[in-house]
Amino acid sequence: MTHLIVPFAAGASEAARAAALTLALPQLEKLLASCEASSPVGSDERSLSAPHEIALAGALGWPIDDGAGPWAARLAARDGIAVGAQAWGLLTPVHLHLGTEQVSLTDPESLQLDEPSSRELFAALKMLFDEDGIALHWAAPLRWYAAHASLAGWPSASLDRVIGRHIDAWLPDAPAARLVRRLQSEAQMLWHAHPVNQRREAVQLPAVNSFWINGCGVARPVPDVEPAVDERLRRAALAEDWSAWCEAWRALDAGPIAQLCDAAAGSRLTLAGERRAVTYTKTTPPWWRRWRRASPSAVLEAL
């Protein structure tokens, strides 16, 4: 059966909630009238894993441990890397912005990092990691992988949690975290005067001055048919562009949500906000409930 997961279906800020109240989502309203809701998963916006990741882990049959889903190994295997029984972490080159009172992580997509520049920075960092016996693998400009035994089961904060926020709250105090912090500091020094960043400065692009690592763990099996994840709301939500978010929601409602309205009983929709995720399963509702429709705004408010 179809299972669609929608990350960032709601935001936790006042501006996000106000935007959600303006949304008319007729297809979602129609779909909810024929669905049974599951118990929510997730806790609050301070968890290491975003609710959509917790929901996806559950759908894949993985143990749900905050911050410990082996997403890196899953992605590495998709990139053609033989992951074996080694522990992996997803390593993303980033720009850390130094504010007056905090250091925040900007959206890596805004770096506009091309492949040649990414490979240059990767080569320099690989020499540093080699000294600690950590194997690095390049897959894409913003998608690198680290393999090391210390990454097995290490809880790490999702990028979807950290972007735009003060990073200190997302660095757990664990042996692997202390190693990562040291390597982050060394990477900052290594890349500070790197030719790539000199070229970027010349064209007023932000420096690549650190990296983030998450999704750590050993590969786990996945089912033959995995849920579909529609991420069209993600960028607007992370940028807090609620006008664009509303526009993306309307397109989602007219497309995949409308298709789910015609799907067979047993098909599922998971809506995930910053605090919780709820899965709605299509049923054959009794006649009297077909005229009782849940308010999409109330559903989104609860996420």
Task: Summarize pLDDT for 205-250 with one digit per residue, the tens.
Answer: 999 999 999 999 999 998 888 999 999 999 999 999 999 999 999 9
Cβ-based neighbour number of residue 128 at 10 Å: 15
State pTM to two decimals. Answer: 0.92
Q: Look at residue 286 in the predicted model and tell me its pLDDT.
A: 61
Q: Look at residue 170 in the predicted model and tell me its pLDDT.
A: 83
**Distance (Å, rounded) from C-alpha 166 to C-alpha 278?**
28
CATH number of 71-218: 3.30.70
Q: Is the pLDDT of residue 175 over 70?
A: no
Q: Look at residue 166 in the predicted model and tell me its pLDDT.
A: 86
pLDDT cut 70: percent of the chain above it: 95
Residue 135 or residue 103, greater confidence: 135
Q: Nearest Cα to 29, choosing from 300, 213, 240, 295? A: 295
**Distance (Å, rounded) from C-alpha 183 to C-alpha 168?**
15
Q: Is the pLDDT of residue 55 over 80?
A: yes
Q: Is the pLDDT of residue 174 over 70?
A: no
**Distance (Å, rounded) from C-alpha 300 to C-alpha 30?**
15
Q: Is the pLDDT of residue 100 over 80?
A: no
Contact predicate 5/59, CB 8 Å: yes
Q: Look at residue 295 in the predicted model and tell me its pLDDT.
A: 85
Rg, the chain, Cα only: 21
Classify strands 135-140 and 228-229 as parallel, antiparallel or unpaired: unpaired
Please, what is the angle between helix 14-21 and helix 242-252, to 10°?
Answer: 40
- CATH 3.30.70, the chain: domain bounds: 71-218
How wide is the angle at C-alpha 140 spanned by C-alphas 95 and 120, nearest 5°? Answer: 65
Q: Look at residue 238 in the predicted model and tell me its pLDDT.
A: 94
Average pLDDT over residues 7-23: 94
Q: Look at residue 150 in the predicted model and tell me its pLDDT.
A: 87
φ, ψ of residue 234 in degrees (nearest 5):
-60, -55
Q: Is the pLDDT of residue 24 over 80?
A: yes
Q: Nearest Cα to 156, choosing from 91, 235, 79, 60? A: 91
Q: Is the pLDDT of residue 193 over 80?
A: yes
Q: What is the DSSP letter of 166?
A: B
Q: Look at residue 40 in the predicted model and tell me its pLDDT.
A: 94
φ, ψ of residue 172 in degrees (nearest 5):
-65, 150
Q: Is the pLDDT of residue 291 over 70?
A: no
* Average predicted confidence (pLDDT) for the chain: 91
**Tens of pLDDT along 259-281?**
999 999 999 999 999 999 999 99
Q: Is the pLDDT of residue 137 over 80?
A: yes
- Residue 282's pLDDT band (boundaries 50, 70, 90)? very high
Q: Look at residue 43 in the predicted model and tell me its pLDDT.
A: 83
- Residue 103's pLDDT band (boundaries 50, 70, 90)? confident
